[in-house]
Amino acid sequence: MVVHASGPIVLIGAGNMGGAMLAGWLKSGISGADLLVIDPGPPAAMAKLIADSGARHETAAPAGLKAGVLFLAVKPQMMPAVLPPLKGLVGPETVVVSVAAGTTLSFMQSHLGDAAMVRAMPNTPAMIGRGVTGAFANGEVSSAQRDLVHNLLKVSGPVEWVETEADIDAVTAVSGSGPAYVFYLVECMAEAGRKAGLPADLAMRLARETVAGAGELLHQSPDDASRLRQNVTSPGGTTAAALNILMADDGMQPLFDKAIAAARKRAEELAG
């Protein structure tokens, strides 16, 4: 990938998410020479990746440098301490990107000043390059900066831009927290299988591989989820019997409506 930025890509925090992004950037062809990683103590594997890539590593923000992209990947609770010393890295050409849940643009502006800023919400499958990211850009972000940020985010999977910052709370509720709902679905299917008479470990293996395989089929197929469901549902068959329960008025849809609304409300509360 060719990076057209007016300064280095500065990554703040090379933990789980920052490390996954860094690995993706290097894999996509970004040169280590274009990267500066600031982390007081990256995990050993990440320290090796940084050293092998030739990226510059610092434990604190160096003076006299303006970032092309300032990419924030620290825990939200670290933000009040992390942001103030970074202000010097932000110049007129800098775009700031944050993946921190619940950290608003106005909070970032209060520490970094009025700048081009993107708030992004990736999800855990980003660790294997199979995430999906929702992103919101403020009015200062130029189309060139937006393209650049899009290219940086897409190394972990598709990027979907939303129209308002508030939409990020809904993105968080659907895809940010979503992997946990799917993992819980596996747990529920396994437990129901155990109650249906299967050994618990066998039921878990069946449930796990079913969800993983169905996810992969969905990923590879041009058909949407509804079509794939209909394809495996014969009228009067076993799948139809189960779906009659799951799709009833008191089935999964009202449960998901409540769950997503609760997650969204919590995201709003965390954003303050």
Inter-axis angle of helices 200-220 and 178-195, nearest 10 = 140
Kindly tell me which of 39 and 190 has the beta carbon lying closer to ligand NAP: 39
> Residue 82, interface with ligand NAP (CB under 6 A)?
yes
The span of 9-17, 27-35, 195-203, 253-261 binding ligand NAP (CB under 6 A) equals 9-17
Tell me whether residue 40 is exposed, middle or buried, using C-beta atoms within 10 angstroms of its C-beta: 0 to 12, 13 to 18, 19 or more.
exposed
**Cβ closer to ligand NAP: 145 or 172?**
172
Which residue has tokens 């549902």? Answer: 233
12 binds ligand NAP (CB under 6 A): yes
CB atoms within 10 A of CB 233: 15
Rg of the chain on CA atoms, in Å:
21
Which of 51, 17, 19 is closest to 32 using CA atoms? Answer: 51
Least Å distance between CB 97 and ligand NAP? 11
Give the number of residues written for the chain: 272
Q: Nearest approach, Cβ of 27 to ligand NAP (angstroms)?
A: 18
CB of 13 to ligand NAP, least distance (A): 3
Considering only residues 4, 75, 87, 227, which one is a binding residue for ligand NAP as defined by CB under 6 A?
75
Residues engaged in binding ligand NAP (CB under 6 A): 12-18, 38-42, 73-76, 78, 82, 99-101, 121-124, 176
